[in-house]
Amino acid sequence: MTDIMVRILLAKLGDGYDQAQLQLGKALLDAGFEVIYTNTQHPDSIVASALQESVDHIGITMLPGSNINDIKTVMDLLAEANAQEIQVAAGGFLADEDIPAIKKMGVAEFFPRGTTFDQLVNWAKEHIKPVES
């Protein structure tokens, strides 16, 4: 029996920091995940890419200029597409007081700035599972 490779879509909300996201993608790839990188910055495009690529997880980097309404839109669009099984985690720039709100929306975890790639990979290994077909 062959192990099913977990597919992760990396996306961002806001501008900048492409290099860090590419480095995270490489770390996840090296850890055995299949990584789909998108430079899209709009919730509808993120969800469309996730559905098209049949991913198990969406990792969203929140950059300056993004806000929790963008996360809410991602979660709402996944629900509208009956794709709530696609897990979402986020990290980056977000006020501490907004973290409980996005978790209430269904975001699995939020990683503040300064989280290491090793911490992210270890979390991914423990918490991201293939979506049941």
pLDDT digits (tens, 9 = 90+) for 53-88: 999 999 999 988 788 999 999 999 999 999 999 999
CA separation for the pair 68, 120 (Å, rounded): 21
CA separation for the pair 128, 89 (Å, rounded): 10
DSSP bridge partners of 36: 9
The pLDDT value recorded for residue 2 is 44
Q: Is 121 helix (H, G, I), strand (E, B) or coil?
A: helix
The answer to whether 94 and 102 are in contact (CB under 8 A) is: yes
CA separation for the pair 85, 23 (Å, rounded): 26
The CATH code that applies to domain 7-124 is 3.40.50.280
Where exactly are the structural domains of the chain?
Answer: 7-124
